[in-house]
Amino acid sequence: MAAADQSLTEQDLVTELRAAGVAVNSVWDLVNTRSGYAGAVPVLIAGLRRADPDDARLMEGIARALSVKEARPAAASALLECFGRVEDDSARWAMGSALDIVADRSSVSGLLELAGQGRYGSSRQLVVSALGRVGKGRPEVVELLVRLLGDDDLAAFAAAALARLKAVEAREPLRPLLDHELPLVRKRARDALSKLDAIAEQEER
């Protein structure tokens, strides 16, 4: 086990996982397995908080290992807490991916804070996606997603999230994206508008 004043290493984590009955040689063994490992989740959550934020491979591996339903919602707070500590884009993106799986409605405020921070760039993509899954009934979520339609890195994800939230009020801000230079943004905007226009038409009947 790592000393109190030292960051957790991958070998420390492997030792703790084995002590919990999870036989692995690397945290990446969990990423690549098809077997469940609910017993590893508490160890992984604690490990994420104790790992060196500059150890990008370990941080990414833990985040990817926590990208399972068994970690919902227990891992969300640690992922939100550690997202801003890492500088590596791949590790940060993996944390966003995990949040898209494990976040619940109690995570909305934290997701909003991360999604609104431009310095995190495209690593916010799946944080935005998570807002579409858990942000129903929160006007501030729709407000932020509409604003993020103007960010080329996030526009496609914001459009899909608005459609998932059935945010018919976002139709007008979405329409200019039908002519966006990026094909994925055009497609997501088209799909979102198709869904939202149908909802609005049904509501008017």
Contact between 165 and 148 under an 8 Å Cβ cutoff? The reply is no
Please give the pLDDT value at position 118.
96
Whole-prediction pTM: 0.93
Q: Buried (b) or exposed (e) across 176-200, using 16+ Cβ within 10 A? A: ebeebeeeebbbbbeebbebbeeee
Residue whose C-alpha is closest to residue 20's, from 43, 36, 2, 51: 43
Considering the domain delimited by 103-205, tell me its CATH architecture: Alpha Horseshoe (1.25)
Tokens coding 140: 């501030």
pLDDT tens digits for range 132-172 = 999 999 999 999 999 999 999 999 999 999 999 999 999 99
Domain residue spans in the chain?
1-101, 103-205
Q: Which of 67, 68, 60 has the alpha carbon at shortest distance from 93?
A: 60
